[in-house]
Homo-oligomer: A and B are copies of this chain.
Amino acid sequence: MIEQPTFATSPFFLGLSNTDRNAPFVIAGIPLDIGVTNRAGARSGPAAIRTASRMLAGNDHPHHWVSVDAMPIADIGDFAIALGDIPRSLALIEQQAAPLNHLLALGGEHGITLALLRALSKRLRSPLGLVHFDAHADTWDENFGQAYSHGSVFFHAINEGLVDPRRMIQIGIRSPLPRATYDWTVGKGVTILSAQDVHEIGIAATAERIHAVVGAQEPTYLSFDIDCLDPGCAPGTGTPEIGGLASFQAQALIRRLGGIDFVGMDLVEVAPAYDVSEITALAGATMVWEYLALRQANASG
């Protein structure tokens, strides 16, 4: 029960007051954005997502009929990063993520996912499955000379054995892309569903493909780049691409991912300086909330 109107709720995720790093579910912001190849500003994403999330607090989820507020979630604030230094920041992020139980990371740019996968992979001692919403495959071998930009995350994650590419599916892909990069990705075994594919085959078939690829038995990670959504729904991001998913599509997909053994998630690339009236931040907050509700529904289901 929320006693304050939305506008007076404390600016933590869902207005949470729990800050215990040992909580079963942990929200943390990771305000790194210096590996972004176009518009800057994802560093301000965590604060914006938290602020927007307050609208979702204090009621039940209208599909799963669970209360996310009732879950054992802590918001531990933002990770320390090394200002202006990608390698040191990735090391710091990995180190801070390692001891947490089940992390939901609020980016920041997509580059942070590499550090998070390294931490998880070390702990689980096996490659992860991956459900990856994005406009971009993020499997470039480098971008403009930078090996660890936000466009190379999954190139490294696959090469480092952090994810199992045969258990990896990308949804919403539509950016210009070198044919060689595409071929490398598919050649590794990754399944790619473009945004046009989703528009054509629909929600149910897309969800089936996700289940078919990642399975229910082994641990899987959810990485949600907000630019998988159409710029009309999510203008506040650094590398928008038109023709993306409507927010209802992404929401409906997450709702259908019950039974997958998710071990963590991130929501990345919200750049509030390019947002309008917080709609991108709200979309980001809602996707995290959908993930939590899915977990709660699975647990109680």
Chain A interfacial positions (CB closer than 8 Å to B): 2-8, 10-11, 29, 31, 33-35, 37-41, 43-44, 46-47, 50-51, 55-63, 65, 77-78, 80-86, 143-146, 148-149, 173-179, 182, 194-196, 199-200, 203, 230-236, 239-244, 246-248, 251-252, 273-279, 282-283, 286
Contacts and interface: CB of A to CB of B under 8 A. Distances in A.
Contacts of A82: 145-146
Prevailing SS type, chain A contact patch: loop
Contacts of A50: 11
Given A4-B80, A38-B6, A251 B246 contact: no
Nearest to A146: B83
A20 B59 CA distance: 29
A56 B240 CA distance: 10
Contacts of A239: 6, 55
A235 B84 contact: no
For the complex of A and B, list the 9 residue pairs with the smallest distance between their C-beta atoms, beginning with the closest. A59-B176, A40-B40, A273-B273, A34-B34, A243-B248, A83-B146, A242-B247, A274-B277, A231-B279
A177 B62 contact: yes
Contacts of A7: 31, 37-40, 43-44, 47
Nearest to A31: B8
Nearest to A59: B176
Contacts of A233: 230-232, 242
Given A5-B81, A7-B39, A38-B55, 17 more contacts: A7-B40, A8-B78, A8-B80, A34-B84, A40-B43, A58-B176, A59-B178, A60-B179, A60-B182, A62-B174, A62-B176, A195-B248, A231-B279, A232-B233, A236-B277, A242-B248, A273-B274
A196 B84 contact: no
Given A34-B34, A149-B83, A240 B176 contact: no
Contacts of A232: 230, 232-234, 246-247, 279
